[in-house]
Chains A and B, each alone.
Chain A
Amino acid sequence: MADNHIYMQLTSCSENVGVVRVAAAAFAAQADLTLSEIDELKVAISEAVSNSIIHGYENRQDGKIEVSMQRYADRLEFKVIDYGKGIEDIVLARQPSYSSDPERMGLGFVFMETFMDGLEVTSTIGQGTTVIMYKKIQMTGMH
Chain B
Amino acid sequence: MGLKVETMVVQGRLLVRLEGELDVYQVDQVRAVMEQALDDSGSQTLILDLENMSFIDSSGLGVLLGRYKRLQASGGTMLAASIQPQVHTVFELSGLLKLIRIYPALSDALQNA
Residues of A within 8 A of B (CB): 14-15, 17-19, 21-22, 36, 39-40, 42-43, 46-47, 50, 53-54, 101-108, 110-111, 114
Contact = CB atoms under 8 A, between A and B. Distances in A.
Chain B: interface size category: 20 to 34
Contacts of A40: 89
Secondary structure of the A side of the interface?
Answer: helix
Interface string B85-98: 11001100110000
Interface of B: 1-2, 21, 23-25, 31, 55, 57-59, 61-63, 65-66, 85-86, 89-90, 93-94
B59 A114 contact: no
Nearest to A107: B58
A107 B61 contact: yes
A91 to B, nearest CB: 19
Contact of A18 (B21, B93, B94): B21
